[in-house]
């Protein structure tokens, strides 16, 4: 007997190769998948603006990257002892404006420089509710817990999302014609919108993603929301807040993701790296023993062989870690 409804995964129309360059934007789910990609040594830029939730904030972030925008102190505001950007997550905030600007502009510069060489843009929409700052009539990426009176809150329509994204997709193609875009809707429920409001919001995102994938042949959709809502509907697959996926759920979503987009060759490369990663995490009984030194030497040889086969692998940190331990 089958005690769950299994979500049909998309047919493998394309694949993400281990050598591909990937940029991810969006909610906490983008961070989860991005961190797993980084752990498996994919070349990723995860959320250059920090976590963003709605489609229009991500469009604005992409346009700033494409225009090589540089932030100045006029783009920041001061509150609660720190400088903040309306477009950036609080991870970029700092007590000094110079520090805040340095973090923002460094990530912007890196993202702008790397964009023409990207193979994949992975977009995770979290909510169809967007906030506009009344003073500047601009969409914001983060309200930074400022008073509600400063903002206008609006539920975006499917048409608004599709129109804005079609415009930015044209801009993206001019700079990077071969870029592929993978959309997904975050499985994290926005309880502050109310349960009904959350469903309306998610439905709007699903319809907009579907329409864009119909219109653009190099746009794809991964059903993370559907997997969480149907296959993993039991609360044992949720974190303590009963809203975010648990580590087990994230692992399952990652497994589904790899089944959809990774080839056998990519799986093999990941397995080869996983063996080295586990060996690096090994804690010896005696770090000065000859046995452990031989163990480290073998790891160094494996790293060098892997780097020789796949020159794009960035293994300098791991190599230095082993070499430092060998000198003890």
Q: Tell me the per-residue pLDDT of 261-308, one tens digit each, with 9 for 90 and over.
A: 999 999 999 999 999 999 988 888 888 888 888 999 999 999 999 999
Task: Determine the 3-state secondary structure of 260 from DSSP.
Answer: helix
Neighbours of 273 (CB within 10 A): 21
Range 21-262: architecture per CATH: 3-Layer(aba) Sandwich (3.40)
Q: What is the pLDDT of residues 6-46, one digit of tens each?
A: 899 988 788 999 999 999 999 988 999 999 999 999 999 99
At 48-93, the pLDDT tens digits run 999 999 999 999 999 999 999 999 999 999 999 999 999 999 999 9
pLDDT of residue 284: 84
Mean pLDDT of 222-244: 92
- Read off the tokens for 238: 């949720």
Once rounded to an integer, what is the mean pLDDT over residues 101-110? 98
Residue 235, by phi and psi: left (phi above 0), alpha (psi -120 to 50) or beta?
alpha
Question: From CA 162, how far away is CA 59, in angstroms rounded?
Answer: 11
Partnered with residue 181 across adjacent β-strands are 121, 219
Annotated domain spans of the chain: 21-262, 271-326
Question: Average pLDDT over the chain, rounded to whole?
Answer: 94
What pLDDT was estimated at residue 125?
98
Distance CA 118, CA 141 (A): 23
d(CA 273, CA 292): 20
Tell me the C-alpha distance between 213 and 221, whole Å: 7
Strand pairing class (82-85; 76-79): antiparallel
- For residue 3, is pLDDT > 80? no
pTM for the model stands at: 0.93
| pLDDT score, position 308 | 93
Residue owning tokens 């997997």: 227
Span 116-175, pLDDT tens digits: 999 999 999 999 999 999 988 899 999 999 999 999 999 999 999 999 999 999 999 999
What DSSP state is assigned to residue 144?
T
Q: 181, 169 in Cβ contact below 8 A?
A: yes
Q: How far apart are CA 104 and CA 102, in angstroms?
A: 6
What is the DSSP code string of 152-182?
Answer: EEEEPPHHHHHHHHHHHHHHHHHH-TT-EEE
Q: What pLDDT, on the 0 to 100 scale, is given for residue 164?
A: 98
- Whose structure tokens read 């791991």? 318
Paired tokens of 171: 């801009």
pLDDT of amino acid 328: 65
């Amino acid at each position: 007997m089958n005690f769950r409804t299994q979500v049909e995964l998309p047919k493998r129309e394309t694949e993400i190769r281990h050598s591909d360059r990937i940029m991810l934007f969006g909610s906490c789910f983008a961070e989860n998948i991005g961190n797993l990609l980084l752990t498996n040594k994919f070349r990723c830029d995860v959320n250059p603006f920090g976590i963003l939730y709605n489609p229009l904030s991500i469009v604005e972030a992409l346009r700033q990257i494409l225009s090589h925008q540089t932030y100045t102190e006029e783009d920041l505001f001061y509150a609660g002892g720190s400088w903040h950007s309306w477009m950036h997550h609080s991870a970029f905030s700092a007590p000094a404006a110079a520090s805040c600007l340095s973090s923002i502009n460094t990530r912007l510069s890196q993202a702008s420089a790397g964009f023409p060489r990207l193979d994949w843009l992975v977009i995770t929409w979290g909510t169809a509710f967007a906030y506009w700052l009344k003073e500047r009539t601009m969409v914001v990426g983060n309200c930074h817990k400022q008073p509600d009176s400063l903002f206008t809150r609006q539920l975006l329509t499917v048409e608004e999302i599709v129109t804005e994204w079609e415009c930015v997709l044209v801009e993206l193609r001019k700079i990077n014609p071969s870029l592929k875009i993978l959309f997904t809707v975050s499985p994290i429920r926005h309880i502050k919108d109310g349960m009904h409001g959350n469903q309306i919001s998610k439905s709007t995102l699903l319809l907009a993603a579907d329409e864009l994938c119909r219109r653009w042949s190099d746009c794809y959709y991964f059903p993370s929301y559907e997997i969480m809502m149907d296959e993993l509907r039991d609360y044992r697959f949720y974190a303590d807040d009963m809203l975010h996926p648990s580590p087990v759920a994230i692992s399952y979503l990652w497994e589904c993701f790899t089944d959809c987009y990774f080839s056998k060759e990519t799986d093999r490369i990941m397995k080869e790296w996983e063996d080295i990663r586990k060996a690096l995490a090994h804690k010896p009984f005696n770090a000065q023993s000859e046995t452990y030194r031989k163990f480290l030497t073998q790891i160094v040889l494996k790293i060098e062989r892997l780097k020789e086969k796949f020159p794009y692998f960035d293994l300098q940190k791991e190599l230095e870690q082993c070499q430092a331990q060998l000198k003890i």
